[in-house]
Amino acid sequence: MRSLIRRTAPDAAPRDPAPSRMGYRYQRLMLTPGFRATVRIGVPILLIMAIAGSWYSKAENRTALAATIAATKQEFQQRPQFMVRTMNVTGADLSIVAGVAPLLPTSFPISSFDLDLEKIRAEIEALDPIQSASVRVGQAGTLEVALTPRVPAALWRDQGVLRLIDADGVQSGVIAARANRADLPLIAGDGAGAHIAEALGLFQAAGPLQDRVRGLVRMGERRWDMVLDRDQRIMLPSEGAVAALDRVIALDAAQDMLSRDVVIVDMRNMGRPTLRMNEEAATALRRTNAPVNNNDEGGN
């Protein structure tokens, strides 16, 4: 029977079962989770990046990729559910809509991705007649524009220009003639628009004089003069103007003061109201109060 045991030559060196130094180090590294993950994941990724970088470095490949991305994007944005086909503007009259129209798209259908709704809204709200606006794409592909116009509260004569201003003192338009908005109270003078709230309070407090009030004039950017018909003027103080006006109304109710030949009622000093009569009445008053000279012709 042949022996199954391999016999080594007497002069052969015994085989060392221990791994080599490099093999040992490799085995030790493979026992480290971070190194093992780098070999299994990092190396393939680096290889893919190297291949992709080599492909992308060619100009014709970059051009083809850009064209493919643009075509895909265009195809997605032109889908029917993203198309705007009509427009609806509400909340304002035709004159205001006509001013807003140049800021809105004119050709339809148009992709909603091509509409900068925030920019359109900001441009509309920058217009004088518009207080606020809402711009959105609604159902059935409709561009819905809701306008909230400013409501003029007074008419400001500013250096010959008639400006419509709202209760916040913001201009909402310009008109050519006073008769175009005779329903609005008139204010004038430098800085009058910045004190619109005080002016509206005086118009409200005018009470029985409202039908006679022609307007308010800001004097020296400090106080108001109320101008009435018959060229009468009430000079109000810088502080407590409403109280001074109430006192004038009370005096007029008691003594029918403003129905007389009075030109100016000066209430700047509340403790000492002053009346100024027109020139004709003042001359007549001076004649009445002039002393009578009695010349005695007889002797002693």
pLDDT one-digit tens code per residue, 102-117: 999 988 888 888 889 9
Q: Which residue has the higher pLDDT, 121 or 19?
A: 121
Sequence-ordered alpha helix ranges (H) in 5-154 = 21-30, 33-37, 43-56, 59-77, 94-100, 117-125
What pLDDT was estimated at residue 202?
95
Section 2-16 average pLDDT: 57
More confident residue, 148 or 297: 148
Res 34: pLDDT: 82
Q: In what helix (H) or strand (E) does residue 173 lie, and over which residues does it extend?
A: strand 171-175
> In the predicted model, is pLDDT for residue 285 greater than 60?
no
Contact 90, 145 (CB under 8 A): yes
pLDDT at 6: 54
Interior/surface letters 253-266, b for 16+ CB within 10 angstroms, e for the rest: eeeebbeeebebbb
Please state the rounded mean pLDDT for residues 262-288.
77
Alpha-carbon torsion (11, 12, 18, 19), positive or negative: positive
| Mean pLDDT across 65-92 | 86
Q: Are 112 and 137 a contacting pair, CB within 8 Å?
A: yes
Checking if the pLDDT of 243 tops 90, the result is yes
CA distance 191 to 163: 13
164 close to 171: Cβ distance less than 8 angstroms? yes
Selected residue with higher pLDDT from 26 and 129: 129
pLDDT digits (tens, 9 = 90+) for 246-266: 999 998 899 888 888 889 999
Question: Is-contact 159 165, C-beta < 8 A?
Answer: no
Give yes or no for residue 300 having a pLDDT over 70. no
pLDDT band for 233, please (50, 70, 90 cuts): very high
Percent of the chain with pLDDT over 90: 41
Give the strand pairing for 262-266 and 223-228. unpaired
Place of tokens 């109304």: 249
Q: What is the pLDDT of residues 110-136, one digit of tens each?
A: 888 888 999 999 999 999 899 999 999
Helices (H), 113-195: 117-125
| Residues whose CB falls within 8 Å of the CB of residue 128, separated by 6 or more in sequence, listed in order | 150, 170, 171, 172, 173
> What is the C-alpha to C-alpha distance for residues 215 and 228, in angstroms, rounded to an integer?
7
Domains and CATH numbers, the chain: 81-149 (3.10.20.310), 154-287 (3.40.50.11690)
Minimal CA–CA distance to 131: which of 83, 81, 171? 171
**Is the pLDDT reported for residue 10 higher than 60?**
no
| Proportion of the chain above pLDDT 70, given as a percent | 86
pLDDT confidence bin for 1, thresholds 50/70/90 = very low
